[in-house]
Structure 1
Amino acid sequence: MSKITAIVIDDEIANIKGLQQKISKLFPDIEVVNTFQKPEDAIVELQKNQPDLVFLDIEMPRINGFDLLTKLTKINFQIIFVTAYNEYAIEAFKQNAVDYVLKPIANNDLITAVNKAKDIINQKAQNESNTKLLSLLTEHVTNNNKLLIPTIKGISFIPYNEVLHIEGYEGYTKIHLLNNTTITSSYNIGKFANILDNPFFKCHKSHIVHLDKVRSFENEGYVVLENGNRVPISKTYKKTFIDLQTR
């Protein structure tokens, strides 16, 4: 991962410089990109540009650290509160801080707090990278008539023609295949509904069928697949389904 960016906010310049020196010595992978003595200036900057990590003093004139956070429209960074007063700890965690350190700052306390923040930041970056990869894979695989199925073990790539029926189940999705096997995906059925079109048809809030695998329609509200399985079809989708089958 590239360097972690950080901002230090403290009304006393000596505290800022001391913390900067510790960060530079203990964490060469963290770059302090800005410092602020005035909380008002920090708010302006954070509304425009947010770093990965903010070291935030609590006791400051005019606007304390807690109030500073409430004035931001979004918080997309990790927070380590820096305070001389231990009684602020509970309130600090109510503000979703990663940790807090007491002044004067002990190296061990700083290392513990920063490592917690780094773990969260790195995991977030990994999750974002995985999301982008999945998006690219989905686009590529869909263009090649394959269904991308995220599972606990990894990702399966199944040709459309091997899929009979997709079933939503307690927040997960079961993909029923021609060979009578089933793959369980961590995606909910809504995600599959959003990426699939013809020859797949959503016939029920919890069911998507492969139209080429449908062999009959039953008036009581079911479609029958080529393996004999009956899948419910809701009234909402029945007319559209019949129109598609009679074209």
Structure 2
Amino acid sequence: MNSKTAILVDDEFTALKGLQQKVEQIFPEITIVGAFQKPKEALKVIKQKNPDILFLDIQMPGMTGFELLSELDDLHFQVIFVTAYNEYALKAFKHSAVDYILKPVDNDELIHAVSKALEVINLKQQSESNAKLVHILSETFTDTNKIIVPTGKGLSFIPQQEVFHIEGYEGYTKFHLTNKSEILSSYNLGKFERSLSKIFFKCHKSHIINVEKVRSFENEGYLVLENDYRVPISKANRKVFLDLFN
């Protein structure tokens, strides 16, 4: 497992050291790069170190945990609030906390909170890694005229000529292929639209068709493809589509 970093902020010395010991003992894969009693001092190091996890007390003299977070432009880390006051719970989650632990810190609650944070971090890193890979592969495959489609199983490399129609719905994208199969991706339609060649035409906000596969245009507002599939075309795009053939 890749090492992760954390910063702890709590104005109570005993609570701070106790939490640090628990984290180090239970999660050896987490390196604590700072433990602070003064929020303003912590703020400077948080900006410099950009930790993976921030353990943050809420009620502190001079600056509350919420005020500390408001001083940061972007929260790239996971926040776990650690406090003695449970009335802050709702407000804590409104500040995008991954979890909330009451003092004195219970080991099981700590394990649950940190495990949740690590899961979010790993998923985010995997997503970013996949996005970079798709970008690199897209540049590599430009000349071969293939579409790179991230799926639940990995990556599919689809020749554009084998695509009838690309459909977007609820944030997902479905590829309808000439072999009558379908491929579903969790990427939205816009992610693919920019990488398609000129043989594709966006006929509707949720539909992109392969112009070479169109067999007829219906006045009521549909395009019929070679596979007899009827795809809606918006009024705004009808004239643009017909002008392609003039």
TM over 0.5: yes
**Structure 2 partner of 1:72:** 72
Q: Which amino acid aligns with 1:244?
A: L
Residues 229 and 155 (structure 1 numbering): CA distance in 2 closer, same or farther, change over 3 Å?
same
Give aligned-pair identity as a percent. Answer: 56
The TM-score, its normalising length taken from structure 1, stands at: 0.80
Q: Which runs of 5+ in 1 are unaligned?
A: none
Give the distance between the partners of 1:114 and 1:232, measured in 2 at CA. Answer: 48
Give the distance between the partners of 2:83 and 2:229, measured in 1 at CA. Answer: 65
Residues 3 and 238 (structure 1 numbering): CA distance in 2 closer, same or farther, change over 3 Å?
same
* 1:58-137 correspondence runs (5 A): 58-97=58-97, 98-103=99-104, 105-137=105-137
Residues 87 and 242 (structure 1 numbering): CA distance in 2 closer, same or farther, change over 3 Å?
closer
Q: Residue 9 in 1 paired to residue 3 in 2?
A: no
Residues 232 and 109 (structure 1 numbering): CA distance in 2 closer, same or farther, change over 3 Å?
closer
* 1:37-76 correspondence runs (5 A): 37-47=37-47, 49-76=49-76
1:11 partner SS: coil
TM-superposed deviation, 1:124:
2.4
Q: Which amino acid aligns with 1:65?
A: G
Q: What per-residue deviation string (whole Å, max 9, x for no partner) do you get for residues 146-177 of structure 1?
A: 22333444443221111222233454433222
Give the distance between the partners of 2:231 and 2:81, measured in 1 at CA. Answer: 55
1:69 partner SS: helix
Q: Which amino acid aligns with 1:74?
A: D
Q: Which amino acid aligns with 1:83?
A: T
Give the distance between the partners of 1:128 and 1:113, measured in 2 at CA. Answer: 23
Of residues 91-100 and 61-70 in structure 1, the stretch that sits farther from structure 2 once superposed is: 91-100
Give the distance between the partners of 1:24 and 1:125, measured in 2 at CA. Answer: 23
Give the distance between the partners of 1:169 and 1:110, measured in 2 at CA. Answer: 39
Of residues 219-228 and 127-136 in structure 1, the stretch that sits farther from structure 2 once superposed is: 219-228
Give the distance between the partners of 2:179 and 2:81, measured in 1 at CA. Answer: 57
Give the distance between the partners of 2:185 and 2:208, measured in 1 at CA. Answer: 14
CA contact 1:86–1:102 (8 Å) conserved in 2: no
Give the distance between the partners of 1:82 and 1:170, measured in 2 at CA. Answer: 36
TM-superposed deviation, 1:41:
2.4
Q: Residue 27 in 1 paired to residue 44 in 2?
A: no
Give the distance between the partners of 2:11 and 2:44, measured in 1 at CA. Answer: 16
**CA RMSD in angstroms, aligned pairs only:** 3.0
Q: What per-residue deviation string (whole Å, max 9, x for no partner) do you get for residues 11-59 of structure 1?
A: 2444434433333333221111123222122234434542111111223
The TM-score, its normalising length taken from structure 2, stands at: 0.80
**Structure 2 partner of 1:234:** 234
Residues 126 and 38 (structure 1 numbering): CA distance in 2 closer, same or farther, change over 3 Å?
same
TM-superposed deviation, 1:77:
1.6
